[in-house]
């Protein structure tokens, strides 16, 4: 497996940003899951999109549902494209692990196609940070395979790691989150929907 380039906060995503933007331009994979999840939020909810990319299709679905999105992406190209698409929304070009947006509180947090790109320790820390930034009654949605597995990311060629459903449920318990539901979309992506009581 490849190692990320030194000082590349995006872990290889900046190098493939243009191709990713083009591929996702008309993607609707997962939109129904996002729309279903977003129904748990009040109108005009503030949602943090971790690893937002260019905002298609996740942030697009959230904005269309009437929510205010705050995007975080460590790729300068992707963050700039997000800003171009959603000039009324806020975006920062930062690592999700150290984002300044964790100083705020949100009604919802999404992390689609992100969590499994992190090490086991970083995944745990991210889930704890998400819990701390969620308001009471807030909702968290992320993707990761339900089984324990490792694989090479098709885009960056870096290692991806799913801790497996049982480990994520243990992390929820540790963080003070409760599992609401699991979803699978048309691309066979597996979603964990958790809530902060």
CATH of residue 151: 3.40.50.150
The answer to whether position 7 is within a domain reads no
pLDDT tens column, 69-88:
999 999 999 999 999 999 99
* Residue 95 lies in domain: 29-195
Could you tell me the pTM of the whole model? Answer: 0.93
Measure the CA angle with vertex 182, ends 178 and 184; round to 5°. 160
Q: Which residue has the tokens 């929907």?
A: 193
The answer to whether position 20 is within a domain reads no
Please count the structural domains in the chain.
1
- Strands (DSSP E) contained in 87-188 are 90-92, 106-111, 134-143, 149-152, 159-162, 178-184
pLDDT of residue 7: 58
Q: Which residues of the chain have pLDDT under 70?
A: 1-7
Write the CB contacts of 97 (distance below 8 Å, at least 6 apart in sequence). 118, 122, 125, 126
The answer to whether position 1 is within a domain reads no
pLDDT tens column, 117-135:
999 999 999 999 999 999 9
Phi and psi at 90, nearest 5°, equal -105, 140
């Amino acid at each position: 497996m490849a190692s990320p380039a030194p000082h590349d906060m995006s872990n290889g995503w900046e190098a493939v940003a243009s191709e990713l933007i083009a591929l996702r331009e008309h993607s609707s994979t997962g939109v129904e899951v996002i729309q279903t999840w977003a129904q748990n939020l009040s109108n005009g909810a503030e949602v943090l999109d971790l690893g937002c990319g260019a905002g298609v299709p996740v942030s697009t679905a959230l904005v269309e549902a009437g929510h205010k999105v705050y995007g975080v992406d460590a790729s300068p190209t992707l963050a700039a494209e997000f800003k171009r698409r959603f000039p009324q929304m806020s975006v920062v070009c930062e690592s999700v692990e150290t984002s300044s947006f964790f100083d705020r509180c949100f009604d919802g947090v999404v992390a689609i196609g992100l969590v499994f790109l992190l090490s086991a320790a970083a995944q745990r820390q991210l889930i704890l940070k998400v819990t701390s930034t969620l308001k009471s009654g807030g909702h968290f949605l992320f993707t990761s395979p339900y089984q324990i597995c490792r694989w090479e990311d098709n885009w960056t060629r870096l290692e991806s790691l799913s801790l497996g459903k049982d480990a994520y449920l243990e992390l929820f318990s540790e963080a003070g989150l409760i599992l609401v539901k699991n979803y699978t979309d048309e691309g066979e992506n597996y979603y964990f929907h958790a809530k902060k009581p």
